[in-house]
Each structure stands twice: as structure tokens, then as C-alpha cells.
Homo-oligomer: A and B are copies of this chain.
């Protein structure tokens, strides 16, 4: 079951960058693990912004919620979730 997730990372001149960088490294490892498991299907960066657009493939709303709340950078993020389904015009097997 697919969801689009947009993640904005809020960093300001006041952010404690030592703490942030530590969490960012943890975030990368966590993202790699979820990508390898197939749960985090895609991640793209929006040009010029500290923001990504991702596609998650999960069993349920609850699983997605748990995965997102465990993001190491979650306290720095503004997250928006959009439920997706197969488009009748899609010809790809993996668009659902």
C-alpha cells in the first residue's frame, strides 16, 4: 500500500549543528535500512530546498506511522502524508 510522504527539514542559524549532524547520520543509516527492506520505495530531493518527496510501501497506516515517528530527524521535520492507489492508466507493475 503506497503513500507519498513529504518531509521538510527545518534548520535555522540557531540550530545546534553538532546535534543535528549526529542525527542526520543516523537518519541516513535508517533510510538505507528501510529502502533495502522495500518499505521506503523512493526518495527524491526537491531542488533548492531541504525537503524530500518519498514513496512508502507499507502494510497499514499504523506501520507507516511507526516508521515515520522513528525517523532520527523527526523533531526537525514537518511531515505530510498522502494516501495513493493504482492509477487506471498505469502500465507499470510496481506502481501499486
Chain A residues in the interface with B (C-beta under 8 A):
1-5, 11-13, 15-16, 19-20, 27-28, 31-32, 35-36, 42-49, 52-53, 55, 60-62, 64-65, 68-69, 75-76, 79-92, 95-96
Contacts and interface: CB of A to CB of B under 8 A. Distances in A.
A43 B85 contact: no
The DSSP consensus for interface residues of chain A is: mixed
Given A13-B15, A45-B87, 12 more contacts: A1-B60, A1-B61, A11-B75, A13-B75, A32-B89, A35-B91, A44-B96, A45-B88, A47-B81, A47-B82, A48-B68, A49-B79
B31 A89 contact: yes
Given A13-B16, A28-B89, A82 B48 contact: no
